[in-house]
Structure 1
């Protein structure tokens, strides 16, 4: 049996929740650095305060993917996770702008990002579950459209509240301005209502139906964790990989200590030590014949399809670039373009308000081109389309250094918007055809590693680079990000999907 084709409005309903998810995500991206700086964070410390968010995603997404593959309730398979994540994220959005000090704000960011990840991760697998392969590109494009729309409105809210409604965008030292607070309150409501729309207006196929569609692959016992789940990864290879990570992490950590380098660098390499230990522990458990969720989650990281491994490098450098933009655009615009660092001044806050407008432009462009990219890809290829999009994004980021006006900054975001639309859809379209249907949620969660790891790397090293090499000039972090995105564009050309491989043969 083949999955029936869904109508445009059915795909619309199943993707609508992304409007709320991205609404909250846009508020987080555009305003968190501002909140941290208002609460007293130094510019070089801002990346380390962001580290909680990607670390949380690294842990949460594969676990949620693994269990959502094995879940079936009255609400379905993925929808319970949509709903729980939305409730928690909405509460966090209300707390964040009311944080009394810096560390509570950082802790709230951790909880908020974990909640957003709980909602967001199953949405990618939702497309694979519900849509036939020929409709998946449209499904991911629909998600990109809602991401763009949600981000446009979410990013624009502080500007709207200040310039259209009249709320103040300034406050006494250490207090978040009212325009930012009310933006987060509205975001909480929109997040919850949008996800509720998808939960109530869409359906999921039962395990029995999926079994019929997938020829038995999806209908296996959802709690199963047998040897076939971990087949393909050598226990000796897993042990060697873990040992290598452990030794490398220890050596570099010692070198960081001996050279008295910035403490943020410990996070990256202590993390490498932890992963190495987990790989070695999993190898030991497998030798003892133990099979459980932990063993399956860790082992299947070594069983990634070839297409996924190739896309991993593309994602790494793409998201490193995006994270550099999200962290440092406010500081680059206020300091480099407009020449102000006084967070209590009107000049600073007017410049800071322009950053959400910039983000609105790139998200608006993403929404406009979301349905154009699949058309271009059909006439050329997914690889070539993604290459062009990332190239435009890299040039857009680098151009910020040379600009001196608000209009010019908006123009720089056009290229970033094209890249953003492609990043949110084309890699997933290339990936979905290479994944086993029974592990769609898990591997989509693991694929998130290559979104999260570059964020950890960026948060770890960018503060060090800005302080030690860039003379506390954050605009150079944007140039670094632009170069990384151009490298990602080049790496896209080497990605081979099952479809392209077949055409080569």
Structure 2
């Protein structure tokens, strides 16, 4: 078996630079979408449903893009055409979103924005697996985390910084402040420019050459049993429908329809697979899901608890900080908007700490291994979220974000490094897309349950959602100990990369 040559620091830099723009888009979305929704009239318990666009688009888009990018070869290469198409669409959505005239148009634009960013982002994960030998993949994903951190710091700070330069930070009822509007415009330009840099400054291995570098063991193919698939499909469909009926009859929170609908949809997908007569994208993705490596199955649990925690933070930090630390729930008040800007600073802080953590993590990995490093980082993140319950001074919340930053950098890099050597080169894209299921599913569960839990059990206090997220983050770290460490092959050449 041939070994991939190591890449230099600047080669890794160029191939990851596009993540600066991708995270610019995500950071503007994460820090400001709840603010836009509340400005346009959304009630507190409706926020998770409105946010459902983000995980649903990822669930649909990423495996499809991964499947087709595995089968693509053009003058621009294998993954780079998708980088470019997603960047153009996301740029247009960023210009449009802060000008939404109504809540539902804003929600629709969130679907478009998230789908477009996912079109670019999914192949970037596979791109690292394509280009780097196993020994350098932790470095590649850490470099992506570095750019994620830098992009998020600048993007999250933009409304706060613009307000300091005199740009209007308040607006009339139903109007998005100019600080948010201009931040989105600037983010659109950065997103397109940074992805163009990666498209123009990198090259890709042709598929036939990539196959000679394949370092993953062949995946065992388990024959599909149509009868068993039908039984499982009917069972999941029945559970989902029963859940939908129970929610309707008992008059439970409408967000629980998401959970019941998801279970029923999975049942229908299994039934469709059982009756499929020929190969197509759906059958191929479902079959690969059925045959996914054991490492991925174990990492699925790790991802579930990690991303449940992150989604809790993204949805409820603005409401928690403005309500508890700034004393206002009125989106048109100066106190609320001051608090919302401070959330942008906090989000910038955790992403800044993540950029620093991305430099430290490769050294942690060399000293402690991938698994223990991830455990340490997620425990730090969990403690950071729990500390919101006991910190009164909003300035001290910056310390909370130190732990969150280390967890964020780790979540964006180490699970992918644990996974990538278990996935064959010709299926790197589709398996990175399938791996996104285990990012999306916890977000769907969070969107279904968090509003219900807060409303019925936790006094509708958004800060309690952050506490739930903190516990979930630490549980994710414990589950990573069940995953085996990858086997490192010695690549050819001299390593100048970040962690070599």
TM-score normalized with structure 1 length: 0.94
The question of whether the paired residues in 1 share the 8 Å contact of 2:214 and 2:424 is answered with: no
Aligned to 2:281: 293
**Contact in 1 for aligned 2:20/2:148 (Cα 8 Å):** yes
Q: Residue 104 of structure 1 corresponds to which residue in structure 2?
A: 105
Instruction: Check conservation: 1:86, 1:116, Cα contact below 8 A.
Output: yes
TM-aligned CA deviation for residue 314 of structure 1: 0.6
1:146-205 superposed Cα distances (whole Å, 9 cap, x missing partner): 000000001000011001x21011001100000000000000000000000000000001
Structure 2 equivalent of residue 180 of structure 1: 180
* Residues 485 and 384 (structure 1), Cα distance of their counterparts in 2 relative to 1, 3 Å cut: same
- Once the two structures are overlaid, the 10-residue window that deviates more, 77-86 or 461-470, is 461-470
Q: How does 1:121-270 map to 2 (within 5 A)?
A: 121-163=122-164, 165-214=165-214, 231-270=222-261
Counterpart in 2 of 1:94? 95
Instruction: Quote the residue 1:466 is aligned against.
Output: 454
Question: Is 2:423 aligned against 1:435?
Answer: yes
Does 1:323 pair with 2:311? Answer: yes
1:490 is matched with 478
Counterpart of 1:405 in structure 2 is 393
- 8 Å contact 1:229–1:296 — kept in the other structure? no
More displaced stretch, 205-214 vs 98-107: 205-214
Q: Which runs of 5+ in 1 are unaligned?
A: 219-227, 501-505
Q: Quick one: distance in 2 between partners of 1:100 and 1:247?
A: 40
Conservation of the 8 A alpha-carbon contact between 1:389 and 1:415: yes
Alignment partner of 1:371: what SS? helix
- 2:50 and 2:26 map into 1 onto residues whose CA distance is 16
* C-alpha contact (below 8 Å) 1:431/1:497 kept by paired residues: no
Shift of 1:466: 1.6
- Residues 307 and 497, structure 1, Cα contact 8 Å, conserved in 2: no
CA deviation string 1:292-340 (max 9, x = no partner): 2221111211111111011101101100000000000000001122221
Does residue 273 of structure 1 match 2:261? Answer: no
Structure 2 unmatched runs, 5+: 489-500
Query: What CA deviation, in whole Å up to 9, does each residue of 1:228-279 have, x standing for no partner?
Result: 9964443344333322211211222221122110111111211211111111
Q: Give the corresponding residue for 2:345.
A: 357
Contact kept, 8 Å, 1:44 with 1:467, in 2: the verdict is yes
Contact 2:217 2:422 in 1 (8 A): no
Cα distance per residue 1:85-127 (max 9 Å; x no partner): 0000010001110000100000000000000000000000001
Whether the 8 Å contact between 2:220 and 2:291 is mirrored in structure 1 is no
Spell out, residue by residue over 1:217-237, the C-alpha distance to the aligned partner (whole angstroms, 9 max, x if none).
99xxxxxxxxx9964443344
C-alpha contact 2:215 2:421 (8 A) present in aligned 1 = no
> Contact (CA 8 Å) 2:50, 2:107: kept in 1 or not?
yes
3-state SS in 2 of match to 1:167: coil
RMSD across aligned positions (CA): 1.7
| In 2: Cα distance, 1:176 partner to 1:292 partner | 44
- In structure 2, what is the Cα distance between the partners aligned to 1:74 and 1:296? 26
Deviation at 1:212, TM superposition (A): 3.0
Q: Which has the higher contact order (CA 8 A, sep 6+)?
A: 2
1:3–1:213 CA contact under 8 A, matched in 2: yes
How far has the Cα of 1:10 moved from its partner?
Answer: 0.6
Distance in 2 of aligned mates of 1:305 and 1:241 = 21
Do 1:62 and 1:446's aligned partners in 2 also have CA atoms closer than 8 Å?
yes
Cα distance in 2, alignment partners of residues 351 and 292 from structure 1: 50
> How many residue pairs align between the two structures?
487
Query: CA separation in 2, counterparts of 1:232 and 1:2?
Result: 32
Q: Deviations over 1:471-504 (max 9, x none)?
A: 121100111111111111111111224539xxxx
Q: Distance in 2 between matches of 1:476 and 1:401?
A: 8
2:216–2:425 Cα contact (<8 Å) kept: no
**TM-score, with length taken from structure 2:** 0.95
- CA drift of 1:408 comes to 1.1
Alpha carbons of 1:14 and 1:131: their partners in 2 closer, same or farther (altered >3 Å)? Answer: same
Deviates more, 1:259-268 or 1:384-393: 259-268
Corresponding residue number in structure 2 for 1:342: 330
Instruction: Indicate yes or no: 2:411 matched with 1:423.
Output: yes
Cα separation, partners in 2 of 1:188 and 1:272, compared to 1, 3 Å: same
